[in-house]
Amino acid sequence: MSREFRLPDLGEGVMEGQILRVLIGEGDRVTEDQPLLEVETDKASVEIPSPHTGIVSGVHIIEQQIVNVGDLLVTFDGGSEAKASDVEVKPTVATTIATKPMSPGKQTKPASPAVRKLARELGIDLQTVNGSGPGGRVTRADLHRVPSAQGGSSGTGELRSPVERASASSAAPVSDDTWGPITREPLTRARKAIADAMVRSVSTTPHATDTDDADVTDLDKFRRGYRSDDKPDRKFSILPFVIRATAMALQKHPIFNASYDAANEQIIYHRYISIAIGVQTDRGLIAPVLRNADQLTIPQIADELAAVAERARTTSFEVNDTRGGTFTISNAGAVGGSRYSIPIINPPQAAILALGRTRWQPWVIEGKVVPRFILPLSISFDHRLTDGADEIRFMQTIIGLLENPAGLVL
């Protein structure tokens, strides 16, 4: 008897997604909880597990296809009836799937679908990998430590983007424009969501941008000598201090922690300060939120940033990790040679701060040219909420705190 399996509810109001990879074929025998396919929505990338054991008699989707909740995905011979409502798929960038025991006394190694996917691409058997994560969870770093003899054909150990994987798995058709040959690649759901958000921001929010510099020479010395009580050998980057300074400045200038409610013609003042940190991932730019940042110490902020970096490496963000931010910091300088920029506001936030690359520069102090460590800053703000004079005072508060770092740890 043939059984149908349709795309389950993806949650959070998500009604459609794009097929990234089909992991099974007709005639395959699958077991309950085995991944069937990977789907990307505008909020997350997930693996869809099989709700039961059976033989695949039909695969009704192809890679890059757009599917809606309720669309037929796979049919099976054997097993119990599978309904879309029987499968719970959390809308996370990498959703952990509970699996059945492989044999009595032998459990599958815990790992996120993103890590499982990378292991498949590298030809690595997860059962042979010692996981360094909580509860023996296998991480991407663990896979990178596996000897290359186990590696797949790519040999790089790098997880490519969905578009790169799609291009590698099927030859893109070549066509011509007026001047020569071209190929076309479809936008991923994540890239489309980012594009839509950016267009919505610049078309609905009147941006104004200002740039300035912070002399962080003393801060650089201070952070190199700064020690936390619990980890005296720990090293700190400048970023936790910038986040702390920004949170303190937002307390003093709450309009930059507010939102503009056009429908009700009101200003919404957030009584909490939660700072989103822009992180570049394989899926594009993601901005996980450091909640109640004004209540965090420098070591606590550093801990949160370390956790963000690990989730970025393993693509294990949950949707709610990127929601509820009241202000955004983009660390553009960490990527390379950026100095000043024109960052785009993340609605409904009122402003965004971009950090350029810190450099030693000649600087005039008391009539003398001396080398100083300079951090370029760029702020874009919603001109409906406030004006340039307020922004200058806000910027100067941040700069003042960065140039007098002892005040950041009181």
Pairing of strands 284-286, 275-281: antiparallel
Q: Is residue 409 within 8 Å of residue 236, measured between CB atoms?
A: no
Query: For residue 144, what are the CA distances in angstroms to 83, 121, 159, 165, 314?
Result: 38, 12, 11, 19, 12
- The Cβ of residue 86 has, within 10 Å, a number of other Cβ atoms equal to 12
Map residue 32 onto helix, strand or coil: coil
Tokens of 398: 């941040």
DSSP bridge pairs for 19: 39
Dihedral angle, C-alpha 22, 25, 28, 32, nearest 10 °: 30
Map residue 242 onto helix, strand or coil: helix
Query: For residue 313, what are the CA distances in angstroms to 4, 142, 153, 216?
Result: 36, 12, 21, 29
Pairing of strands 2-6, 72-77: antiparallel
- Cα–Cα distance, 57 to 401 (Å, whole number): 65
Q: Is residue 55 within 8 Å of residue 68, measured between CB atoms?
A: no
The closest of 133, 128, 297, 130 to 228, measured between CA atoms, is: 297
Torsions phi, psi for 254 (to 5 deg): -65, -15
Q: Is residue 336 within 8 Å of residue 357, measured between CB atoms?
A: yes
Query: For residue 96, what are the CA distances in angstroms to 14, 114, 162, 285?
Result: 19, 9, 19, 22
- Cα–Cα distance, 26 to 407 (Å, whole number): 65
Residue positions annotated with a catalytic role = 383
- Cα–Cα distance, 143 to 58 (Å, whole number): 33
> Token pair 């066509």 is at which residue?
175
